[in-house]
Amino acid sequence: MTCGEAFLAYALRSIGIGERLLPRSEFSLCQEAVLIGSGILWNLYFGLLALFFGFFIANAVAVAKTSKHPWLRKPADAFILVFRGSPLFIQFFLAYFTFLAVKQQGYLPWLTAAQWGALLVLILNTSAYAAQIFHGALMTVPKGDIEAASAYGITGWPLFRRILWPTTMRLAWPSYTNEAIFLFQATTLVFFSGFPAQGQQGDMLYYANYFADKTFNPFVPYPIVAVYFVILTLGIIGIFGLVNKWLNRHIPQDLRRRVRYRPQLIR
């Protein structure tokens, strides 16, 4: 099989388009690179959607955590504690078996599929981590900003929307970039954690693991995944860096907070 043929056969294999059977013998570098590369669609699917929905939930939870009312604050605290205090791997398993039991009762059968069930877990998980970041940032908004706003007669919702929230985002963004990177890294766990890959449609690590099992040679597939991931990470850093620049557009260059690698947000 030439490289071109491999590309046509496997470039979209992870979403079920192309050759039905995965390669079984004479594994070429092209086949491995193309098939593993096609798996990135799932990593992007889980990562982007979880990031998008998680962002809104995280903001809501972060604000709820600052609330004076215990019936708003306590659930937010508990939510963050449960999802940050336990391993994502266990969360996936627990969620999968729960969805399975619910399905056997005849409800929500689609939740046992990775594309819905695992996505839900990832959304909740990233919401908890991001909520903690946003809450931390919300607490460190300079007092002077709020006082200045009150002096102008800005209170309540306009205060939050025009003063608190933009500053929160600005303060939280470097940490949130790290969270996004680790969220994408966490998407590799999905197909190892109970959620089945239907029709052998899996993510990058699923295919890399397939090749490593078949060829008993870890030195080709895993470095391929690593290369794709480095590219993906650079892409995230690039996009989040642009947003960071935009958020800080009114601040002098040398005072801006830089996006820095901090491994404290990993699951």
Partner 1 sequence: MFSFCSEPDTLDSLRWFACYLTTGVEFNLYLSLGTVLALLAITAPAALVFGFLGAMASRSHFLPLSLLGKIYTAMVRGVPDIVYFLFFVIALDQGLEWTKHQIVCPDWTEPIRQGANFIVCPQAKIPLSTSPQWVHEVYNFFLAVFTFAIVFGAFAANVLSGAMAAVPRGQIETAEAYGMTHRQAFWRILVPQMWLYALPGLSNLWMILIKATPLLFLLGVEDIVYWARELGGTKAAKFSAYPHPDWRIWYFLGLLVFYLLFTKVSEYVLTRINRRLARGQSISGNMA
Provide the binding-site residues for partner 1, judged by CB under 8 A.
25, 27, 81-82, 85-91, 93-94, 97-98, 100-101, 181, 185-186, 188-189, 192, 205, 208-209, 212, 214-219, 222, 225-226, 229-230, 232-234, 261, 263-264, 266-267
Dist. CA 70–CA 195, nearest whole Å: 36
Q: Smallest gap, in angstroms, from Cβ of residue 19 to partner 1?
A: 19
Of residues 233 and 248, the one with the C-beta less far from partner 1: 233
Q: Are 237 and 177 in contact (CB under 8 A)?
A: yes
Dist. CA 173–CA 155, nearest whole Å: 24
Of residues 160 and 222, the one with the C-beta less far from partner 1: 222
Q: Smallest gap, in angstroms, from Cβ of residue 37 to partner 1?
A: 15
- How many Cβ atoms sit within 10 Å of the Cβ of residue 192? 15
Q: Smallest gap, in angstroms, from Cβ of residue 152 to partner 1?
A: 32
Q: Smallest gap, in angstroms, from Cβ of residue 2 to partner 1?
A: 20
Residue with tokens 């056969």: 9
Of residues 9 and 208, the one with the C-beta less far from partner 1: 208
Of residues 55 and 192, the one with the C-beta less far from partner 1: 192
Q: Smallest gap, in angstroms, from Cβ of residue 155 to partner 1?
A: 30
Q: Residue 219 has which token pair?
A: 């030195």
Question: Hey, what amino acid is at 249?
Answer: R
Q: Are 172 and 247 in contact (CB under 8 A)?
A: no
Q: Smallest gap, in angstroms, from Cβ of residue 16 to partner 1?
A: 24
Q: Are 95 and 117 in contact (CB under 8 A)?
A: yes
Dist. CA 17–CA 34, nearest whole Å: 13
Of residues 252 and 263, the one with the C-beta less far from partner 1: 263
Of residues 86 and 198, the one with the C-beta less far from partner 1: 86
Q: Smallest gap, in angstroms, from Cβ of residue 94 to partner 1?
A: 4
Of residues 38 and 188, the one with the C-beta less far from partner 1: 188
DSSP letter string, 166-203: HHHHHHHHHHHHHHHHHHHHHGGGGGGTT---GGG---
- Nearest Cα to 28, choosing from 50, 2, 56, 62? 2
Q: Are 240 and 180 in contact (CB under 8 A)?
A: yes
